[in-house]
Structure formats: structure tokens, C-alpha cells
Amino acid sequence: MNIFLTALLVAVIAGIVQWDVYGWGDTMISRPIVVGMLMGIALGDLKTGLVVGGTLELMYLGMLPVGAAIPPDATMAASIYASLAILSGVEPKAAASLAIPVAVASQSLQMLVWTANTGLIHRADKHVETANFKAIERIQYTGSFLFFLQGFVPAFFAILLGVNAVEVAVNAVPDWVMDSLTLAGGILPALGFAMLFNMMSNKKLIAYFIIGFALAAYFDASILGAAILGVGALLIHINNTNEGATT
């Protein structure tokens, strides 16, 4: 597949996942882990796509939009850097750390799309006065489609113009720089967990966190095994809470 068709394929996927929230009701395909998987399937390297997407997912565990405080765009970051990591051979963890500037830049583009939609809303208001429902419907679809373009356009040009540039840049970068980026990519998921823990921490539940950490860090417990133990601890906690409430 030539670079143009590859860029077109990546851009269509990026546009669809970016469109998800404002297109058909947030089916969660815009999450980085899903975006990475889709890019991996499309580009023939599912493992790398999942590693990049999963790393970004962990980074964004504790980031939620609250009012006007909008976190950097994880969907766009996953789209571009999962595809670039696959196509250029960048170390997945390094690609995850490089995704941060893309996420911040895409956040600004998202603000632009929201601003454009504000103008469309005012146009729709005028059609409401004349009961022109077909015009209102067209405006609705136009405003929604802008979010597809938000993902499509930057992803297309990033792949079309950027793969060769990324390959050259990667080959020119000293090993210690790439090692530093890889280290940063490994630390960022821990930051995501820390932010999530900061929101969910509770003095009554801290014991479960300590037990889970000890299992993972010192007893080599698998994720599935730790999750099963966590479900058991949850059931014990719920039963004890219910008994306390009834006495």
C-alpha cells in the first residue's frame, strides 16, 4: 500500500473515532486502547497498536473533562502516534510520550470546532422561527461532521508528510534521547493511576489498595488473579457494610 492510501486509511479511522462522541452517542471507540487496536488491525501490527493505545489509556485514566477544563485530546494522540509508531518503527513507549504535544495541539483544534458549531447554532435559531426543520437538520449534520474532519485532516497530513520525516528523525536521534523518551513513556501511566487514585481515594478503602499493590509488586500476581481477589474483597466489604447498616 502506497503512502497516500495508507494516509487515507489512517485518516478515515481517525475521523470516525473522533466523530464518535458527537456523531452517534459515545460508543467508547474513541478511547485510546480501542483507537490503538483499530490502527494496529488496519496497519498490520496489532501488538504495537495495543501497546501505544494501552499506554495512553493508562495515562488518561484520571483525566476527565469538568466544565471548561478539557484535558488534551487522547483520541487524536492515539490515532497519530499509534499509526506513526507502526509505520516508522518508533519504540511504542517513546511514541506514547511523544503523543502529548499532539494531544495538546488537537485540543486547540477541538476548541475551534466547538466555536464553529456555536455559529451554526445561531443559524439554526433563525430557521426555528420559520419552522424550517430540514435546514435545521442539515445544520445538525454539518456541525457533527466537523468532528470527523477534526480527526481526518490532521491524521491524513501527519501520515502523508510525517512518516519519512519521523524515520529520519528517529535514526538521527541519539540513543540516550530515545531511552529518555522510553523512560518517560513508562512513567506516564503511573501518573494516570496517581490522578485516578487521587479522585477515588478513601481512608476506609486504603487497605485494599495496599494489599493489591503488594500482590502486584512482591508476589508476581497476574492481572486476572489480582482482579479476582479484588472482586472477593469487594463482596466482603459490601456484605460488612450492609450488616452494619441493618444493625
- Mean pLDDT calculated for residue range 44-71: 75
CA 195/CA 201 separation, integer angstroms: 10
Average pLDDT for 82-110: 72
pLDDT band at 247 (very low <50, low <70, confident <90, very high): low
Between 216 and 20, the higher pLDDT residue: 20
pLDDT for 235: 87
Backbone angles phi, psi at 203, to 5 degrees: -60, -35
What mean pLDDT comes out for the span 95-124?
74
Q: What is the pLDDT of residue 12?
A: 93
Written as one letter, the residue type at 227 is A
**Distance in angstroms (rounded) separating the CA atoms of residues 218 and 99:** 32
Question: Across-strand partners of 49?
Answer: none
Closest CA to 38 of 8, 71, 12: 12
What pLDDT score does 183 carry?
A: 64
Residue 166 contacts residue 84 (beta carbons within 8 Å):
yes
User: In the numeric block, which cell numbers belong to residue 59?
Assistant: 495515562
Q: Which of 81, 89, 87 is nearest to 170 (CA)?
A: 89
pLDDT of residue 241: 78
Alpha helix positions (H), the chain: 3-23, 32-43, 46-59, 74-88, 92-129, 133-172, 175-200, 206-218, 223-246
pTM exceeding 0.75: no
Please write the tens of the pLDDT for every residue from 35-50.
999 999 999 889 888 8
The 10s digit of each residue's pLDDT in 180-191 is 655 665 565 666
